[in-house]
Amino acid sequence: MSRHLLSVDSLTRDSVNHLMHVAARMEPIAQRRQVTRVLEGAVLGNLFFEASTRTRVSFHAAFCRLGGSVCDTTGFTFSSMAKGESLYDTSRVMSGYCDAIVMRHPDQGSVAEFAAATHVPVINGGDGPGEHPSQALLDFYTIDKEFTRLGKKLAGAHVLLTGDLKYGRTVHSLIKLLSLYDPMRITLVAPPGLEMPDYLIDLVASRGHRVEQRTSLADDYADVDVVYTTRIQKERFTAEMSEGFSLSRDFTVDRAFMDKRCGRDTIVMHPLPRDSRSEANDLDVDLNGDPRLAIFRQTDNGIPVRMAIFATLLQVDELIEKDLRPVRWFVPERVGVDDSAL
Ligand code: NCD
């Protein structure tokens, strides 16, 4: 694996498989049964210049669960970039303070520019509409774990990606990552004007996958194994696009869609946050409590996967088991009140 994690382009099937194995070994720590101190003394710089809850907090928590400490800054207006500091200068300064850096920034390519100015490992936590590689890794880990539970195989699987496929960086990274594996079927359903960029469709097709674009969810998706739905990224719209835009209810994944059109073991994923305002027509809350809804298992998986990324980049992945201790504090059996027993 390369020094930084900026794009899925730098990953191979072997490096992804390695990260998946390391993540599985992190489970006892992520599930709060064991404690490790393998990153004791290390400091993470967590720089978020764009809105975030789970990515920022899960990177932070993952570093802490490995025994490290975290310094962070949130929001552009409170950073020196608001005073005109360049990415180069911020990068050099932060490198003197931290052993690893996670950065989210509204401009595509900005995290790569930041990383070019440092020898400290940098992880792209989302660069505008560009990429979100750690999300793709945790999505892939989730698919793999759910398929193992359901006795399914990745080769030949049918994955439906829907929602904002143009500006949604998570689907850009995920489709690249899936394309590294044996041929599968990928169906894309986006509202007009928010389709997956052609270069990504061409890349995936050139690697032997069957890619199909459809314009509506009102179709038969009974053989779909994964429904991956995304939020409309209105914050990336031009004023012209925003004017009068509203997502038709036809693009909503809800219980009726799942019961009528999908199979009984089709899983539903979403990178979150889902926009729960009724006019948004994002993933419906009426699926809460349905075991097919994997979204919170997906967010939980962010911890072991991000621990695996840190452990691998900081080269302590072979040392994790050496200093494990049992957890001593109270941990509830299930963390969510609606969590299904699988
Ligand atoms: C996503 C993002 O920021 O790209 N969220 C996340 O990191 N899980 C998706 C989104 O904001 O819609």
Residue with CA nearest ligand 1 atom 8: 271
Point out the ligand 1 atom lying closest to the alpha carbon of residue 230: 12
What is the structure's pLDDT at 109? 98
Residue with CA nearest ligand 1 atom 11: 273
Q: What percent of the chain has pLDDT over 70?
A: 100
In this prediction, residue 266 has a pLDDT band, given cuts at 50, 70 and 90, of very high
In this prediction, residue 81 has a pLDDT band, given cuts at 50, 70 and 90, of confident
In this prediction, residue 37 has a pLDDT band, given cuts at 50, 70 and 90, of very high
CB of 129 closer than 8 Å to CB of 169: yes
What is the distance in A from the centroid of ligand 1 to the CA of 8?
16
Point out the ligand 1 atom lying closest to the alpha carbon of residue 104: 3
Point out the ligand 1 atom lying closest to the alpha carbon of residue 170: 4
Mutate to test the pocket of ligand 1, among 50, 55, 102 (most ligand atoms within 8 A of CB): 55
Q: Evaluate if residue 7 carries a pLDDT over 80.
A: yes
What is the structure's pLDDT at 236? 94
Nearest to 81 by CA among 99, 100, 103: 103
In this prediction, residue 208 has a pLDDT band, given cuts at 50, 70 and 90, of very high
What is the structure's pLDDT at 77? 82
Alpha helices by DSSP H, 207-254? 239-242
Q: Which residues contact 195 (CB under 8 A, 6 or more apart)?
A: 165, 166, 188, 213
What is the distance in A from the centroid of ligand 1 to the CA of 56?
11
The mean pLDDT value for 131-158 works out to 98
In this prediction, residue 118 has a pLDDT band, given cuts at 50, 70 and 90, of very high
Give the model confidence (pLDDT) of 146-184 as tens digits. Answer: 999 999 999 999 999 999 999 999 999 999 999 999 999
What is the distance in A from the centroid of ligand 1 to the CA of 132?
8
Give the model confidence (pLDDT) of 42-65 as tens digits. Answer: 999 999 999 999 999 999 999 999
In this prediction, residue 244 has a pLDDT band, given cuts at 50, 70 and 90, of confident
What is the distance in A from the centroid of ligand 1 to the CA of 300?
15
Question: Where is pLDDT greater, at 242 or 183?
Answer: 183
Question: Where is pLDDT greater, at 71 or 323?
Answer: 71
What is the structure's pLDDT at 80? 86
Q: Evaluate if residue 84 carries a pLDDT over 80.
A: yes
Measured CA to CA, the distance from residue 184 to residue 199 in angstroms comes to 18
What is the structure's pLDDT at 338? 85
- Confidence (pTM): 0.97
What is the structure's pLDDT at 189? 98
Q: Evaluate if residue 341 carries a pLDDT over 80.
A: no
What is the distance in A from the centroid of ligand 1 to the CA of 337?
24
> Which amino acid does the sequence have at 296?
F
CB of 247 closer than 8 Å to CB of 234: no
Mutate to test the pocket of ligand 1, among 56, 131, 172, 272 (most ligand atoms within 8 A of CB): 272
What is the distance in A from the centroid of ligand 1 to the CA of 274?
9
Strand-pairing partners, residue 100, are: 44
Measured CA to CA, the distance from residue 66 to residue 225 in angstroms comes to 34
What is the distance in A from the centroid of ligand 1 to the CA of 48?
13
Residue with CA nearest ligand 1 atom 1: 271
Q: Evaluate if residue 20 carries a pLDDT over 90.
A: yes
What is the structure's pLDDT at 1? 80
Q: Evaluate if residue 342 carries a pLDDT over 80.
A: no
Point out the ligand 1 atom lying closest to the alpha carbon of residue 299: 8
**Structure-block tokens of residue 137:** 């890794």
What is the structure's pLDDT at 78? 80
Measured from CB, residues less than 6 Å from any atom of ligand 1 are 54-55, 126, 132, 135, 169-170, 231, 271-272
Point out the ligand 1 atom lying closest to the alpha carbon of residue 50: 3
Mutate to test the pocket of ligand 1, among 102, 131, 132, 233 (most ligand atoms within 8 A of CB): 132
In this prediction, residue 248 has a pLDDT band, given cuts at 50, 70 and 90, of confident
Nearest to 273 by CA among 230, 303, 302: 230
The mean pLDDT value for 264-275 works out to 97
